[in-house]
Amino acid sequence: MAHKIIIDTDPGIDDAMAIAYAIAHPELDLLALTTIFGNVRTHEATRNALALLDHWGSDADVAEGEASPVAIAANEPSYQVHGRNGFGGVDIPLSSRKKHDLDAADYIIDATKRFPGEVIVCAVGPLTNLARALERDPEIVSRIKAVVVMGGAVHHKGNVTPVAEANFWNDPHAADKVLAASWPLVLAPLDCTMPVLFTPDFMQAIARENTKLGPPLAAMAEFYARFYRSHLGLGGCVPHDVMALSWLTVPGAFRLQKGALSVITEGPAIGQSIFQPGGTQSRASVFDGRPDHMVMVDTDPGIFMADFMMVMTRHAD
């Protein structure tokens, strides 16, 4: 049986990679994209989500989410990383389809009521929508099958500050609330995303084999790779958001560590994720009463990339 998933997303180039993977994979049943700010503003994320789904032939719903963080002023979108349109300047035709009547938080709540124990939310942007869903319906923790979060940096350095990863930095209060909740949660931090690099040759191979999904992804990846080359000296781009999907389909690609998590919500370390390994104790009261979650602390790049290539080519229409 296919996993019923909702991708909470701020598309975004690596978001587009994750959405394409979800559309292509026979074991993933994409119910909806719920949108959030981050790489772009929320209304732009909704536009991009609708455009991608129409362009790639998916009838999944799109529900628009929160326009600003829970408790801080919104940061500027990551246009320098993803381009002014979120797709590195690649033109994806606008959709005439409308967003769902429910907002993102209510859509997620409703989906868990329609499919109790079946829905997995793959959250690959700031966690504001999930925090709002928890506020509105605390019982959601007992109905949701799992939450897979791409965010944070556990043993790895940050990517927007020395200690903070972008998604958590954009709404640290929401991230802390989501990590404190007692639902089944798996975290995909920078620790597991940074070992993987999609080179231009890799993306062009996908474009040749999958003429529907591949060419726009390869074109977006060229822009994305320029950022990684200029800022980190890397010869490709990092597909961060795909990790939240791959955990469901190829879990053997990842090494896991269990423990409690928290997020710093103020000061120079704002957005930093902190981790207390399971079975250990400390005098940090921030972990009191917090559940242990699973954290993906490393990735086998060969397994991960072989799976992505297989899904994007073998399952191509």
Annotated catalytic residues are 10, 240
HSE (CB half, 13 Å, CA atoms) of 211? 0
- Asked whether 238 and 124 are in contact (CB, 8 A), the reply is no
List the alpha helices (DSSP H) in 115-241: 128-136, 140-143, 166-170, 172-180, 190-193, 200-209, 214-232
Q: Are strands 273-277 and 254-263 parallel, antiparallel or unpaired?
A: antiparallel
Tokens 């899904």 -> residue: 311
Q: Is 166 helix (H, G, I), strand (E, B) or coil?
A: helix
Distance (Å, rounded) from C-alpha 15 to C-alpha 240? 8
- Asked whether 213 and 23 are in contact (CB, 8 A), the reply is yes
Distance (Å, rounded) from C-alpha 24 to C-alpha 314? 9
Helix crossing, 13-24 with 242-249: angle to 10°? Answer: 30
Distance (Å, rounded) from C-alpha 206 to C-alpha 242? 15
- Asked whether 194 and 297 are in contact (CB, 8 A), the reply is no
Closest C-alpha among 197, 180, 134 to residue 8: 134
Two structure tokens written together for 88 = 């590195």
